[in-house]
Amino acid sequence: MSRMPPQGGDLSRLRQLNALSLIKVLRGAEAATLSALAGRTGLSRPSTKEVIDELTGLGWVEEVPPAPGTMGRPARRYRFRADGGHLMGVDVGAHNVRAALADLDGNVVAETRRRTRPDAPVADRLAAIEQAAAACLDLGGLTMADLWTVAVGTTGLVTPEGRVIMSASVPAWRDLDLAGLLGGMFPCRVLVENDSRLAALAETRRGVARNARDVVFLHIGRRMGTGLIIDGRLHRGFGAAAGEIVMLPEAHWVTAPDDLADPAVVPTGVPPEDAAGFTLAAARNNDPAALEAVGRFADKLSIGTAAAILLLDPEIVVLGGGFSRSADVLLPLLRSRLERVCLRMPELRASTLGDECVVLGAIDYAIEHLDRLFFAPDAPVLRPPVRPAVSTAVPDPA
Amino acid sequence: MSRMPPQGGDLSRLRQLNALSLIKVLRGAEAATLSALAGRTGLSRPSTKEVIDELTGLGWVEEVPPAPGTMGRPARRYRFRADGGHLMGVDVGAHNVRAALADLDGNVVAETRRRTRPDAPVADRLAAIEQAAAACLDLGGLTMADLWTVAVGTTGLVTPEGRVIMSASVPAWRDLDLAGLLGGMFPCRVLVENDSRLAALAETRRGVARNARDVVFLHIGRRMGTGLIIDGRLHRGFGAAAGEIVMLPEAHWVTAPDDLADPAVVPTGVPPEDAAGFTLAAARNNDPAALEAVGRFADKLSIGTAAAILLLDPEIVVLGGGFSRSADVLLPLLRSRLERVCLRMPELRASTLGDECVVLGAIDYAIEHLDRLFFAPDAPVLRPPVRPAVSTAVPDPA
DNA sequence: CTACTAATGATGGACTCCTTAATAACTCTC
DNA sequence: GAGAGTTATTAAGGAGTCCATCATTAGTAG
User: How many angstroms is C1' of D4 away from CA of B72?
Assistant: 12
The answer to whether the beta carbon of residue B72 comes closer than 7 angstroms to any atom of strand D is: yes
Chain B residues with CB under 8 Å of A236 CB are: 313
Lookup: nucleotide whose C1' is closest to A48 CA:
D18
Report which DSSP code applies to A381. Answer: P
Total domains in chain A come to 3
Question: H-type helices in A265-356, by residue range?
Answer: 272-284, 288-312, 327-341
Nearest nucleotide to B48, CA against C1' atoms: C17
- With respect to residue B178, please indicate whether it lies within any of the assigned structural domains: yes
**Phi and psi dihedrals of A99, rounded to 5?**
-135, 145
What's residue A392's pLDDT? Answer: 47
Q: Residue A16: its chain B contacts at CB < 8 A?
A: 8
Q: Is A253 inside a domain boundary?
A: yes
On the CB side of A109, CA atoms within 13 Å amount to 23
Nearest-by-CA chain B residue for A48: B9
Sign of the CA dihedral running B6, B12, B16, B18? positive
What is the residue-averaged pLDDT of chain A?
91
Residue B380 lies in a domain: no
d(CA A172, CA A150): 22
Cβ contact, residue pair A241, B368, below 8 Å: no
Query: What confidence category does residue A398 fall into, taking pLDDT thresholds of 50, 70 and 90?
Result: very low
- Domain annotation covers residue B387: no
Rounded to whole angstroms, the distance from the CA of residue A305 to the C1' of nucleotide D18 is 53
Task: Quickly give A73 CA vs C3 C1' distance in Å.
Answer: 15
> Phi first, then psi: what are they for A173, rounded to 5°?
-80, 85
Please report residues of A whose CB lies closer than 8 A to that of B236: 313
The pLDDT tens digits for A74-117 are 999 999 999 888 999 999 999 999 999 999 999 999 999 999 99
Instruction: Tell if B75 CB is < 7 Å from nucleic strand D.
Output: yes
Nearest to A24 among B6, B237, B246 (CB): B6
Structure confidence at residue A396 (pLDDT): 45
Residue A380: count of CB within 10 angstroms of its CB: 12
pLDDT band at A395 (very low <50, low <70, confident <90, very high): very low
Is the distance between the Cβ of B264 and the closest atom of strand D smaller than 7 Å? no
**Distance, CA of A327 to C1' of D19, in Å:** 57
User: Could you give the CA distance from residue B330 to residue A322 in angstroms, rounded to a whole number?
Assistant: 42
B128 lies in some domain: yes
Q: How many angstroms away from the CA of A352 is the closest CA of chain B?
A: 21
Interhelix angle for B288-312 vs B327-341, to 10°? Answer: 50
Nucleotides of D under 7 A from a protein CB: 5-12, 15-21, 25-29
Q: Where are the beta strands (DSSP E) in chain A?
A: 32-33, 61-64, 77-80, 86-92, 96-103, 108-115, 147-154, 157-158, 164-166, 174-176, 189-194, 215-219, 225-230, 233-234, 316-320, 347-350
Q: What is the reported pLDDT for A25?
A: 92
Residue A381 approaches strand D within 7 Å at CB: no
Average pLDDT over residues A231-256: 96
What percent of chain B is modeled with pLDDT above 90?
Answer: 77
Q: Stretch A19-38: mean pLDDT, rounded? A: 90
Chain segment B241-250, per-residue pLDDT in tens: 999 999 999 9
Which residue has the least CA–C1' distance to nucleotide D17?
A11
Q: Are residues B91 and B78 in the same domain?
A: no
pLDDT for residue A393 is more than 50: no
Q: Tell me if B17 and A27 make a contact (CB, 8 A cut-off).
A: no
Q: Do A20 and B11 touch (CB under 8 A)?
A: no
Which residues in chain B touch residue A20, judged by CB atoms under 8 angstroms apart? 6, 8
Q: DSSP 3-state assignment of B25?
A: helix
Asked if residue A77 belongs to a domain, the reply is yes
Distance of alpha carbon B396 from alpha carbon B160, whole angstroms? 8
**Whether A232 CB is under 7 Å from strand C:** no
In angstroms, the CA B191 to CA B180 distance is 10
Domain harbouring A238, CATH code: 3.30.420.40
- Under 8 Å between Cβ of B212 and B316: yes
Give the pLDDT confidence score for residue B225 in this predicted structure: 94
Nearest CA in chain B to A308: B311
Phi and psi, residue A114, nearest 5°: -130, 140
Select the residue from B313, B339, B363 to test the A interface by mutation, using most A Cβ atoms within 10 A: B313
Q: In chain B, which residues have their Cβ closer than 8 Å to the Cβ of A7?
A: 5, 17, 21
State the best of A48, A238, A338, A368 to mutate against chain B, taking most chain B CBs within 10 Å.
A238
- B48, closest residue in chain A (CA to CA): A9
A224 and A114 housed in the same domain: no
| Strand C–CB A67 distance below 7 A | no
Which pLDDT does position A168 carry in this prediction?
87
Q: Are residues B187 and B90 in the same domain?
A: yes
Residues A188 and A248 reside in one and the same domain: no
Angle in degrees, CA A30, A34, A35, rounded to 5? 105
d(CA A39, CA B83): 40
| Cα–Cα distance, A246 to B311 (Å, whole number) | 9
Q: Computed over its alpha carbons, how large is the radius of gyration of chain B?
A: 23
Closest to B51 (Cα-Cα) out of B80, B79, B75, B22: B22
Residues of A in contact with B16 (CB under 8 A): 8
**Same-domain status, B316 and B327:** yes
CB-CB under 8 Å, A238 with B233: no
Nearest-10 crossing angle of helices A357-375, A11-26: 160
Q: Verify if strand D has an atom below 7 Å from the CB of B17.
A: no
pTM: predicted TM-score of the whole model, two decimal places? 0.91
Q: What is the DSSP string of B85-113?
A: -EEEEEEE-SSEEEEEEEETT--EEEEEE
> Are residues A195 and A303 located together in one domain of the fold?
no
B160 and B117 part of one domain = yes
Going by C-beta distance under 8 Å and a sequence separation of 6 or more, which residues neighbour residue B88?
Answer: B99, B100, B101, B102, B133, B136, B137, B147, B149, B150, B151, B186, B362, B363, B366
Q: Which nucleotides of C are covered by protein (CB under 7 A)?
A: 4-11, 14-20, 24-28
Q: C-alpha distances in angstroms, B300 versus A246, A360, B220, B295, B352?
A: 18, 40, 12, 9, 24
Query: Is residue B219 located within the same domain as residue B265?
Result: yes
Contact B310 A248 (CB under 8 A): yes
Mutation for B interface: A1, A44, A166, A217, most B CBs within 10 A: A1
Q: Is A1 within a domain?
A: no
Nucleotide D15: nearest residue by CA–C1'? A11
Does the C-beta of B70 come within 7 A of strand C?
Answer: yes
Q: Which residues of A174-184 are buried (b: 16+ CB within 10 A; e: fewer)?
A: eebebbebbbe
B43 and B130 share a domain?
A: no
User: Under 8 Å CB-to-CB from B256, ≥6 apart: which residues?
Assistant: B224, B297, B300, B301
**DSSP secondary structure code for residue A146 in this structure:** G
Total beta-carbon pairs less than 8 A apart between chain A and chain B: 208
Question: For residue A141, what are the contacts with CB-CB under 8 A and spacing of at least 6?
Answer: none
Residue segments in chain B with a per-residue pLDDT below the cut of 70? 1-6, 376-387, 389-398
Quick one: pLDDT at residue B109? 96
d(CA A156, CA A207): 23
Q: A228 and B311: CB-CB below 8 Å?
A: yes
d(CA A300, CA A311): 17
What is the C-alpha to C-alpha distance for residues A53 and A65, in angstroms, rounded to an integer? Answer: 16
pLDDT for the residue A2: 41
Question: Is B45 a member of any domain?
Answer: yes
B51 touches strand C (CB under 7 A): yes
Identify the domain boundary among A51, A83, A115. A83
Tell me whether residue B389 is exposed, middle or buried, using C-beta atoms within 10 angstroms of its C-beta: 0 to 12, 13 to 18, 19 or more: exposed
Same domain as B150, residue B254: no
Residue A2: its chain B contacts at CB < 8 A?
232-233, 368, 371
Could you tell me which of A191, A233, A236, A185 has the C-alpha nearest to residue A212?
A: A233
- Residue A272: the pLDDT is 84
**Chain B residues close to A242, C-beta within 8 Å:** 311-313
Distance B39 CA to C28 C1' (A): 27
Q: Please give the Cα distance from B17 to B7 (Å, whole number).
A: 10
pLDDT at A383: 65
Q: Using the CB atom, is residue A11 less than 7 Å from strand C?
A: yes
Give the residue with minimal CA–C1' separation from C15. Answer: B11
Does one domain contain both A106 and A91? yes
Sheet holding A347-350, edge to edge: A233-234, A225-230, A215-219, A316-320, A347-350
Residue ranges making up the domain that contains A104: 85-200+357-372
> Chain A residue with minimal CA distance to B233?
A2
Residue A6: CB less than 7 A from any atom in strand C: no
- Whether residues A117 and A192 share a domain: the answer is yes
* Nucleotide lying nearest to B77, CA to C1' measure: D8
Residue A71 contacts strand D, CB under 7 A: yes
**Which CATH number fits the domain that encloses residue B42?**
1.10.10.10
